[in-house]
Amino acid sequence: MEEKKEDKKWIQKAIKKPGSFTAKAKRRGITSAQLQANVQKNPDKYDKNTQKQAQLRETLVQLSKRKKSEK
């Protein structure tokens, strides 16, 4: 039972600065989904941190969709 609690905490540990990816997108005048797509198409144009944030966003969106479909 405790393992599952630890597994759920990975999201909190992964998100060091909440809202920073969205803020980057807003500064560019686009949505976070658009920024994620841009980063994934051209990863060389973005720093490693932004690449990781885009990957994390994709993972969280997939988790959210899976959670909604289970209900």
Per-residue pLDDT of the chain (71 residues; tens, 9 = 90+): 455 666 667 777 788 888 999 999 999 999 999 999 999 999 999 999 999 999 999 999 998 888 888 77
User: In angstroms, what CA-CA distances link 5 with 12, 20, 34, 36, 53?
Assistant: 12, 26, 32, 29, 23
Give the DSSP letter of residue 29.
T
Output the pTM of the full model. 0.79
Contacts 24+ apart (CB under 8 A), 24-33: 24/50, 24/53, 32/57
